[in-house]
Chains A and B, each alone.
Chain A
Amino acid sequence: MPLIFDIAVTHIAGRGRQTLVAVIGVAVGVGFSIAMAALMQGGQDDFVRQLVDTMPHVDITDEQRTARRQPAEDAFATVAISGLRPRDDRRGIINPTAAASWLESWIPGRFAANLKTQGVIRYSSREVGAAINGIEPERESGVSPIVEDFVEGSFSALAAGGNNVLIGDTMASRLGAGFGDTITAVSSEGLTRNFKIAGLFHTGTTARDEGEAYVLLKNAQILSARPNAINEIRIKLDDPNRAPAVAHRAEAELGYKAVAWQEANESILEALVVRNVIMYTVVGAIMLVAGFGIYNIISTITHEKARDIAIMKSLGFPESDMRRLFLLEGVAIGVAGSVLGGLLGFAMTYGLSLVRFEIAATGQEMTRLPIAWSVMHYVIASAFALGSAAVAGYLPARRAARLNPVEIIRGAS
């Protein structure tokens, strides 16, 4: 097709300024789409990463999804029992050692067991309700990012042994206690024990900074009067995407409720899908506008070149050649726009990645915009641009190809 190509080039070159405007139209569309996609995707990735990092990938708790059946209900099909006062069972995950060694044998990742109990932390005359977490420090560091979040003291202080506690900085200020002070923990069982504050953490999540305290598992077991008990196993996987499968298997085997992070955050993940739909709608709208620019210039060219079309048809060019010619011109503008837009998008994305800003509420953290670099953004934006360029070129091209040369020749003579 070099002949058609040559002719297309002369048509485009003959309309430098208009072509440039159309190309820039496409380029701006492509560029903004890419930058927007990078920002949206970056935000989303950042969000999911935080979600995945802070949360256990699979959370096994000492709960069942359905209420336990009475043995009589199993034995007799027609029996219905009501008004019972169930026996106080020992709560917690039964036989934690067996569960742990079973998990150890196949889980592609790390896990940590803990005992979570509700209690009150008391200092001088102030009291704050807290979730007291009994943990094994060496395992905990494998599943929780809290190790990184210490503003005073450190996570390893817990491992050193003794009656140490780690609390959030907000809780500390509410208690009026500081690093090194000794607080009193009161459990829901009514037991009391003193702990020395060996570390203050700031996770950024107020609920945690205000309401969580970490002690050694052994201490938590003493506080809640449940020796050797655990009530939660948190699993961190090497590949977070395998969480549902792992959760499913763990739940089937252990009989306890195992929740994958995807299940726990279903509504958030749904919201992200909606966000993506919105983004691609906007990208589509931008490309539609760019497409009008292309349609406009190709239409103008076909009008201006009506005589040339008549000439070429009289010389023996079939309609398909004429269609191809103007389609090619539209697509050429699309290609040029895509290339230029790719560069523009790259530049804008890079520019955005340099932006630093402060979160006004805390006033202390400087954050960069989360940016995702992905070839897919460029491919998708270019595909949109080329698609709309092809349509925008094809419509006038088809009309031009149908042009009756006799009418034009007659009109000229």
Chain B
Amino acid sequence: MSALIETEKLTRVLPETVPVTLVKDITLAINEKEFVAVTGPSGSGKSSLLYLLGLLDRPTAGTLRIGGRDTAPMNERERARTRLSMLGFVFQFHFLLPEFTARENVEIPMRKLGRLARPEMRERAGELLSSLGLGEHLDKRPDQLSGGQRQRVAVARSLANDPPLILADEPTGSLDSTSSEQVFAILETLVRERGKTVVAVTHDLDMAARMDRRIHIVDGKIG
């Protein structure tokens, strides 16, 4: 098993008048097909770490390699491209585009990547949603779906371009226990059956306990 993500002394400091250190000297490696929980008290910097890993934010110091490639020399365009093809995000809130149906939302990353023909995208979006139990809701817009359904659409969207890595930020944080369980089960399936690597930030210790590995963050450091 090779390391999908490798960090070395990853640090992020907000350049305020009094500099705020979000993440400090994090060195870790996450392998392919791992199901990793990032835990820690609120404000500990676990989400900030996830944004750094997801190339949404740039580290102040340290190195980050994704798929063996150093991310430091990448420009904005290359980082966007990497996000598009290598990474899938699931946030606490579904973050779907409200004007588009579930299927269209899933199609958007595919259309941006442009690797498939339009009918294939449509088919794939339908399959992804059906596999997550949303076969009946393909043409509904986000405001016509329940919280759990929306979050599953978001998961389907994160899988759109078949990325090796899924980053989830409190994916069940705003869901009731039944929906949480459902979404968790889906994430687990992604690792076990689809061979994805899932890194999920969570404050739910029960859930974290059921994952392969736990990275505990306190005050921006691995604790």
Footprint of B on A, CB under 8 Å?
2-3, 7, 10-11, 13-14, 307-308, 310-321, 404-406, 409-410, 412-413
Contact = CB atoms under 8 A, between A and B. Distances in A.
17 contacts: A3-B111, A3-B112, A11-B99, A308-B97, A312-B108, A313-B56, A314-B89, A315-B157, A316-B109, A409-B56, A409-B91, A409-B95, A412-B91, A412-B93, A413-B91, A413-B92, A413-B170
Among B76, B99, B100, which residue has the most Cβ atoms of chain A within 10 A? B99
B173 to A, nearest CB: 7
Which of A2, A3, A321 has the most C-beta atoms of chain B within 10 angstroms of its own C-beta?
Answer: A3
B54 interface: yes
**How many B residues touch the partner, as a band?**
20 to 34
B81 interface: yes
A188 B54 CA distance: 103
B84 A406 contact: no
Nearest to A11: B99
A14 B47 CA distance: 32
A109 B54 CA distance: 80
Given A3-B108, A14-B99, A316-B112, A413 B81 contact: no
B31 interface: no
Contacts of B87: 316
Contacts, number: 78
Contacts of A313: 56, 80
A314 B57 CA distance: 10
Interface string B92-105: 11011111100000
B169 A409 contact: yes
Contact of A316 (B51, B80, B93): B80
A42 B62 CA distance: 71
B114 to A, nearest CB: 9
Contacts of A10: 97, 99-100
B83 interface: yes
Contacts of A412: 91-93, 95
Contacts of A405: 56
B97 to A, nearest CB: 6
A307 B112 contact: no
Contacts of B91: 314, 409, 412-413
B130 interface: no
A307 B91 CA distance: 12
B112 A314 contact: no
A247 to B, nearest CB: 63
